[in-house]
Amino acid sequence: MNTSNNTILITGGSAGIGFEIAKALSSDNRIIITGRNPERLNAAAAQLPNTTAILGDVSDAKDVETLVATLGKNHRDLNIVINNAGKSAPVYNLATEGVDAFTKAGEEMLTNYLSVIRLNEKLLPLLKKQKEAAIVNVTSIVAIAPGGRLPSYSASKAALHSYSITLRQHLANSNIKVFELYPPLVNTEFSAEIGGAINGIAPSIVAGDLKKGLEQDSFDIRVGQTAELYQYYLADPQAAIKVMGGAEA
């Protein structure tokens, strides 16, 4: 995959992994970032060359319609979509009464899984018009072995992982390549509650590995310890799950 002279949409691109991906690609590509916070979104875009900000929430149907219409009108050469926007509920235990796991799971599934399906489907007609195109779905190390402290987040990323495999099969004979990016624990505000500042890798490493994976057409991009854990999981699934931690919360 060519990593220059593309028009790239990055959802959740105003901070964390999304911002670092935009930073890594913005010098040689045209970047569109989305986010829900206007101040943070505009501040992020101001730091990056060749970058346009579009305010919106990927879990909001009206915002998605507006985004798709704007892309179709002003960015007709869009050829890469990076589905990075995510949501994680505070740490909780499924066995504890009153945690309202149903609501937490619903919010995470909507943002992390269902919203990706909706946006991809609506952008496929535009992507199919390009000579070369790609969809990147950002899952997680917990898509392989669930983390006990993030039960419904883990489930949403596992669903996105399964969907990514099927989408790749369905687009196998098209111009669209489907990549899956698996970050480990990353030092971002998003992962602060589960120790990202102490044990997480820099988001710039994730961005760098994504760029390399795109260049090499590595459709499964397992960053850092995710690659090691994947091999561990293949050898001993229960041990790998244990490594990811129990359900204390």
Query: What is the model's pLDDT at position 196?
Result: 61
Sequence-separated (6 or more) residues with CB below 8 Å from residue 151? 92, 94, 101, 105, 247
Angle at 165 between CA 68 and CA 238, to 5 degrees: 130
DSSP 80-96: EEEE-----PPP--TTS
Are the beta carbons of 148 and 246 closer than 8 angstroms?
yes
Query: What is the model's pLDDT at position 24?
Result: 98
Of 52, 112, 117, the closest CA to residue 78 belongs to 52
Query: What is the model's pLDDT at position 46?
Result: 97
- Among candidate residues 153, 163, 230, 233, the one labeled active-site is 153
Regions of the chain short of the pLDDT cut 50 = 246-249
In the residue annotation, 153 being an active-site residue is answered as yes
Query: What is the model's pLDDT at position 248?
Result: 35
pLDDT tens-digit map of 173-196: 999 999 999 998 877 677 656 666
- Among 3.40.50.720, 3.40.1050.10, 1.10.10.10, 3.40.190.170, name the CATH number for the domain at 7-243: 3.40.50.720
